[in-house]
Amino acid sequence: MMPPTRSASTVALLLLVLACAPPARRADTVVIASGADLESANPLVTLHPMARQVQRYALFVTLARYDAALEPVPYLARSWAWSPDRRVLRLRLATDVRWHDGEPTTARDVRFTLDAVRDAATGSPRFAELADIDAVDAPDDSTVVIRFARAQSRFPLVLCEQPVAPAHLLAAVTRSELRRAPFGERPVGNGPFRFVDRRPGQRWTFVRNEAFPRSLGGPPALERLVVAVVDEASTKFAGLVSQELDMAGISPSMASLAAADPALRVLDYPVLVSYGIVFNPHAPPFDDARVRRAIALAIDRERIIVAALAGFATPAAGPVSPDHPFSLSGAPRRDTAHAAALLDSAGWLRGRDGMRTRRGAAFTFELLTVGSADNAAEQLIQADLADLGIRMEIRQREMGAFLAEARARDKRFDALITGVPGDLSLGYLASMFDSRLAGGALDYAGFHTDRLDALLAAARTAAGDEARRDAWRNVQRELAREMPVAWLYHARGLQGVSRRVQGVTMDLRGELATVARWSVN
């Protein structure tokens, strides 16, 4: 969520931490911070971005994975070949990968996983990405055949994103019950790390899988990986300084403090996370698209990035990161004259006191946000809207309460500010744009129109890179017209990492892409 700025209480906490000797630590353990609990370890239904990374890079394996150039390379699938018409993909699997309970990983697991994801009853956030698949066959334990409804221009990137799930443990579970299955809290994986235990709201613990095959990289260097739930930015920073944490996201305002600590290094890297104000379009005042567009035009994005984010972001033209080939260019600049005209046309007129009213009611609303700190970006937005005659009140909630309110079917909030994570596959786009997919910005807004549905359908079925790009840009233009979300900025990742941990690199693949190669001094 939104990173807080440094406050006097944060500095006091830092001074207190610096005065304390670091606790004894197991040299073979790395502890990383997650802003919220991992939600679930079930790779068929998970939304939480850190949970997805733990699944993809630590607990499970995928059929393919991205290399440093973001191209798919073999992983569980050691090779693959297309039919001449590129409608059939045949994959040959490694035969030495076992589930952590000793059962072999086979083509049956792959078939089960892909069939479960493309079943709407499962509720997988990757459902739309497999829409082109007609059938998945497993003629033997090491062969998977995927048949597509139309020719594919490239290897499906979803196969680098979706971990394989164990059929022998989940096939008997009704698809609609997979989200609630006990497996989500007591997973059995087949990746380089094994699940040990979970303390809800506190931590997840994983240990090295000594049996992980060398053909897939062999056992990791780390003995133990702990994901600790730490939601306050100041607490994360204190944990880094005290060496209780080895890796944690830090707010931009703390970057210089972290860089000054000889035991830490700061990593700045691109991420596919887009931040915006999500409106409730089902109730006044945001049931009018003119009002939503006015809010978007009233905000000074450049000032937010400089003042609240220390420059670690880029202005957003829409939900798609500028690092993605389908993105639109040209983020809207602040235009208060146009914003005022839109509000006037919607009946929200300035009174003598400068405040906007309609039918005697003042334009006031609540902005739901996460945290208990300064919330600098929200305060800057508050000031921008005050200039326009709108009163915005900031209502802070802790992460769990925020998500519960954002995801509720009955939308009671006025507006909320959040970051929406994505990945490199087309599911990144679908998860943002489709209100029927949980966790996306339009799911929070509950926004849905027939025109948007038609454009989404055209984008999902477009053939060829150029046609797909144009179709997804049409979706974004429609969203810019309706403005269910006023997009603010695309974040850059900022992590503090202990210098005792070696081999850590971060890029668009995520923070944990190289976790199997991490080591400690």
CA dist 403 and 418 (Å) reads 10
- Helix (H) or strand (E) holding 242, with range, is helix 233-242
Contacts of 172 (CB under 8 A, 6+ apart): none
Tokens, residue 387: 């200039």
Residue 366 has pLDDT above 90, yes or no: yes
Residue 274 pLDDT = 85
Give the model confidence (pLDDT) of 178-196 as tens digits: 999 999 999 999 999 999 9
Residue 20 pLDDT = 39
Which of 35-44, 157-166, 455-464 bottoms out in mean pLDDT, i.e. has the lowest? 455-464
Q: Does residue 327 contact residue 320 with C-beta atoms inside 8 Å?
A: yes
- Rounded mean pLDDT, 268-282: 89
Q: Looking at beta carbons, which pairs linking 283-289 to residues 24 or more positions away fall under 8 Å?
A: 283/411, 283/414, 285/348, 285/358, 285/363, 285/365, 286/365, 286/414, 286/415, 288/346, 289/481, 289/482, 289/483
Domain annotation for the chain: domains and CATH numbers: 8-46+53-58+182-269+494-520 (3.40.190.10)
Q: For residue 455, which phi and psi values (nearest 5 degrees)?
A: -70, -35
Residue 372 pLDDT = 58
More confident residue, 1 or 231: 231
Residue 327 pLDDT = 79
Q: For residue 206, which phi and psi values (nearest 5 degrees)?
A: -130, 150
Residue 25 pLDDT = 54
What is the maximum alpha-carbon separation in the chain? 78
Residue 15 has pLDDT above 50, yes or no: no
What's the mean per-residue pLDDT of the chain?
88
Global confidence as pTM: 0.73
More confident residue, 356 or 493: 356
Residue 5 has pLDDT above 50, yes or no: no
Residue 14 pLDDT = 40
Percentage of the chain modeled with pLDDT above 90: 62
Residue 448 pLDDT = 83
The 3-state DSSP class for residue 222 equals coil
- Rounded mean pLDDT, 415-429: 71
DSSP per-residue string spanning 279-319: E-TTSTTTTSHHHHHHHHHH--HHHHHHHTTTT-EEE-SSS
| Dihedral over alpha carbons 440, 173, 131, 472 (to 10 degrees) | 10
- Rounded mean pLDDT, 512-521: 94
Tokens, residue 41: 């370890």
Residue 12 has pLDDT above 50, yes or no: no
More confident residue, 47 or 107: 107
Tokens, residue 11: 């500095």
The 3-state DSSP class for residue 414 equals coil
More confident residue, 5 or 518: 518
Percentage of the chain modeled with pLDDT above 70: 90
Residue 9 pLDDT = 41
Residue 129 pLDDT = 82
CA distance to 205, 206, 466, per residue, from 195 (Å)? 6, 5, 42
Give the model confidence (pLDDT) of 450-501 as tens digits: 998 898 888 877 777 788 889 888 988 998 999 999 999 988 889 999 999 9
Which of 195-204, 212-221, 322-331, 496-505 bottoms out in mean pLDDT, i.e. has the lowest? 322-331
CA dist 175 and 159 (Å) reads 20
Which of 142-156, 273-287, 381-395, 440-454 bottoms out in mean pLDDT, i.e. has the lowest? 440-454
Q: For residue 110, which phi and psi values (nearest 5 degrees)?
A: -65, -45
418 residue type, one letter:
T
Residue 368 has pLDDT above 90, yes or no: yes
CA dist 340 and 388 (Å) reads 7
Q: For residue 73, which phi and psi values (nearest 5 degrees)?
A: -130, 160
Residue 26 pLDDT = 65
Residue 440 pLDDT = 58
Which of 14-18, 311-315, 386-390 bottoms out in mean pLDDT, i.e. has the lowest? 14-18
User: Quick one: pLDDT band at residue 398, thresholds 50, 70, 90?
Assistant: confident
Residue whose pair of structure tokens reads 């670690």 in the numeric block: 312
